[in-house]
Amino acid sequence: MQIPALTILLLCLAAHTASCFTLISPSIRRSLALHFEKPANPNKYGKGIGRLELDTAALTAQTLYDMVLVERLQPKVETETGLYKGQEEQPKLHICKVLSVGSGREEENGIIASMPDIKPGDTVVVKNPWGIGPKDEELADGRKLSYLRGQDVAGKIEGGLIEE
C-alpha cells in the first residue's frame, strides 16, 4: 500500500521533521521543494548573518554541565595616533570574561565533578579562543560570545586587566 505524498507531507509538517521526506519518491520531493523553499533573506550579505541574536535576558541563562559561556575580549584595532591595525597586526588574545558557568561534568558513576574555581565575572585565559560551536555568537553591540568546556580554561587573571 502506497501512502499519497500529500498525506506524508502533512504528517511531516505536523511533526516538524524532515526525516519522513525520505519516504517520498525523489521526483515528488523535487517538485515539493520548489513550493516549500525557505524565504529569501533580505540581509543576505549583512552583518550577523547566521548569527544568533541574543537579548539581555539571554545572558542570565544558566549554562549546563561542564560548559562555560565567555565573552571574548577584543584587542584594540586603533592605534594611539588613530590608525587602524590590519588583521595580521592584531594580537591573538586568548583572554575572556566569564558570563556563566555550568554545574559540572557528570561522571560515569553519576557523581557531578565540580568545575574549576571560576565564577561569572572572572577574567580567564583559555586554551582555545574559538569555543566548541560552529562559530561565535555576536551580539548587536559587537561583543562575541563562545561556549567553552571547563577544561579549556587554562588560568584565571587576578586583579582585572589594565586598560592601554
Residue 137 has phi, psi (to 5 degrees) of -95, 135
pLDDT value, residue 133: 55
pLDDT value, residue 65: 81
pLDDT value, residue 63: 76
The 3-state DSSP class for residue 2 equals coil
Q: Name the class of domain 56-157.
A: mainly beta
Distance CA(153)–CA(131), nearest Å, equals 11
pLDDT value, residue 149: 82
CA gyration radius, the chain? 23
Cell of 12: 511531516
Where the chain has pLDDT below 70, the residues are 1-62, 75-79, 82-93, 128-141, 160-164
pLDDT value, residue 21: 46
Model pLDDT for residues 17-47, shown as the tens digit of each residue: 444 445 555 555 555 444 444 444 444 444 4
Has this prediction a pTM greater than 0.85? no
Distance CA(101)–CA(148), nearest Å, equals 10
The single-letter DSSP state of residue 158 is T
Contacts of 1 (CB under 8 A, 6+ apart): none
* In the chain, ranges of CATH 2.30.33.40 domains: 56-157
Distance CA(63)–CA(43), nearest Å, equals 30
